[in-house]
Structure 1
Amino acid sequence: MDFTEAGYSQDGRKLFEQNPGGAPANLLTVASHFGYRTSFIGKVGADMHGAFLKKTLEKESINTDAVIEDPAYFTTLAFVENDETGERKFSFARKPGADTQLRKEELDQTLISDCKIFHFGSLSLTDEPTEGATIKAAKMAKEAGALISYDPNYRPSLWKSKEIAVEKMRSVIELADVMKVSDEESILLTGAESYEDAADRLLAMGSKLLAVSLGEKGVLMATQNRKEIIKAFKTKAVDTTGAGDSFWGGVLCGILSLNKPIEKLEWEEIRKCAVLGNAVAGLCVQKRGGIPAIPSKEEVLALMQKSGC
């Protein structure tokens, strides 16, 4: 649950607004808005925040059969403070949070084996038992022929050290067919001096398609054979929460619509997927919060048409 900055009280104290979010859930909301069947796998607390998150997913037509409500742990909270540019600082209440307590034996094997795309991030790798459950689920999906999508989504305060974070985040790259990172994360994971060099190193670890997000500059799309920066849509950012998730959700929707193996995609098709992702993100940042800021398919297509895309 994100609590995002929302002005000040009459006494001058900051107000925080309850906004449902979480990186994989933000991404699934994009896919759901584009008409794809989606399911979320995870654990929340049996508390007001967990109930609200589950209800929010259901409202977005995201299947919650694999969402477990655990009375032994509290739903993780993230307090998000924005600076004047819309960039964020995080403070987490997660010691431990319910999301870190999903166990291997609680996974829905049928659901995982039947999906077309399995997406995961690194926040479920910070602690056991969820780390083991995440890796097992990704391997299970890969063996069943799903496209594996990975977003490291580095949050320093959730890791014991930067060194452990890098080791854990790098350890699963070999499972990923497609991967999204920020420019800072690409350098963190590789030790490269530039994100262009980092892209080459990450692709060498196994991914077939890589996106390096560059904020307002757009995104670097890269394969073994080609790289190109796809410019972002010009927009006024109010809150960048969910920007990367919504971008990557748009890219994955584009890939799904093509119904091709990732290695068979033409560069122009990859470019169009990135433009779609940029359009989703460009609209997302104009509103506060994660899931509540995700635009509709109609809004995205209207922006692209208006921009001549």
Structure 2
Amino acid sequence: MTKVISIGEALIDFMPTGETGYELSPGGAPANVAACVSILGGESQIITKLGNDFFGDYLLGIMKSKNINCSSVLRTNEANTGLAFVSHTHGGERSFLFYRNPSSDMLLDESEIKEEWFEKGDVLHFCSVDLVDAPVRKAHDKAIEIAWKKRCFICFDPNIRLSLWDDHEEYKNIVNKYIDYADIIKVSDEELFFITGITNEEEAIKTLLNRVQMVVYTKGRKGAEVFTKVYHVSHLGHEAEPIDTTGAGDSFIGAFLYQLIKKQVDGEFAVDKIKMEEILDFANKVASMVVEQKGTIDIMPTLEQVNQRV
């Protein structure tokens, strides 16, 4: 069965409870995406490195309980599992404070990436948090190299986190370098200008589409759009009362990839416009459900719950 392979950070999100309290929640964008896919009923796998600590044990247990294939999860004594403190603004928007100097995921080495993890038609999904100057960047390079060799599809969600980089221009250059390795890029309206440097939305998206097969453009409350070289599809989104947007983008792209795999024809993602409209509706629905609760992996909906949503 075709699977989504996420590579990158799995970490602990400390979510605010009241004015001074926090509770731990499993997170990390690649882990969130893998969880979303598996909870919906798809097959997912995660490539990451956890610390040999309580948080690493906790994350591994949670991911296994969500039916994520964890055979490519490594452990280390050289660094602790990553932590992120989340704060919320009015309307559920969030900001992150990361503790990773380094964290275990950053020590994932290229020599630890195995070809046997990849099969033709799989989707390799990654973000930019682990494209920092650390061994894990070369691990990404190795995974991408194998994915191309095995004729997998590559999905890149930049998931911009400016606080992790001192040099934002370098960050922009790194993100743009990895866009050229991708078949699909998922980008939000908040990230579009930073990545392209173009203020005109239409021109910015056109620039990206010249470099990839598909641009998935998310706009928060305003829904999302998909651009290919053949068609353009838009969806206004589903009504929601947002409490916490922490897992919104990850649940969206996880649901999107789940449906894309489900609707593929003969191992190809050349779905027609009608199918893409269905995929976009589904992904928006999943994201609208996630933002109405606090948490990430622990609150991803099942397929049955999504189908019951009006």
**SS in structure 2 at match of 1:132:** helix
Q: 1:170 aligns with which of 163, 176, 180?
A: 176
SS at structure 2 position matched to 1:184? coil
Given the two structures, how large is their TM-score scaled by the length of structure 1? 0.93
**Contact residue 155 and residue 183 of structure 2 kept, 8 A:** yes
- 2:207 maps to which residue? 201
Q: Distance in 2 between matches of 1:263 and 1:47?
A: 40
The Cα shift of 1:278 comes to 0.4
Matched ranges for 1:1-309 at <5 A: 1-8=12-19, 14-113=20-119, 116-205=122-211, 207-260=212-265, 264-303=270-309, 306=310
SS of 2:92's equivalent? Answer: coil
Aligned equivalents of 1:263 and 1:252: distance in 2? 10
Contact 1:247 1:281 in 2 (8 A): yes
Asked if the contact 2:156/2:184 (under 8 Å) is kept, the reply is: yes
RMSD: 1.4
- Counterpart of 2:205, as a letter, is A
Query: Contact (CA 8 Å) 2:260, 2:269: kept in 1 or not?
Result: no
Distance 1:265 1:114 in 2: 18
TM-aligned CA distance change 1:283 to 1:50, over 3 Å: same
Q: Percent identity?
A: 32
How many residues of Structure 1 are paired with residues of Structure 2 in the alignment? 298
- The separation in 1 between residues aligned to 2:70 and 2:208, in whole angstroms, is 33
Give the drift of 1:115.
Answer: 6.1
Q: Which has the higher contact order (CA 8 A, sep 6+)?
A: 2
Cα 1:106/1:116, change in 2 over 3 Å: same
C-alpha distance in 2 between matches for 1:255 and 1:81: 33
User: Offset at 1:263?
Assistant: 5.9
Whole-Å separation in 2 of the counterparts to 1:140 and 1:67: 18
SS in 1 for 2:180: helix
The residue identity in structure 2 corresponding to 1:275 is: D
Runs of 4+ that moved beyond 3 A: none
The separation in 1 between residues aligned to 2:153 and 2:295, in whole angstroms, is 28
2: CA distance, partners of 1:88 / 1:246 = 15
Name stretches of at least 5 consecutive residues in structure 2 with no aligned partner. Answer: 1-11
Q: Matches of 2:38 and 2:230 in 1, distance apart?
A: 32
Cα 1:262–1:196, aligned 2, differ >3 Å: closer, same or farther?
farther
Out of 186-195 and 38-47, give the one that drifted further.
Answer: 186-195
- TM (normalized to structure 2)? 0.93
The Cα shift of 1:185 comes to 1.3
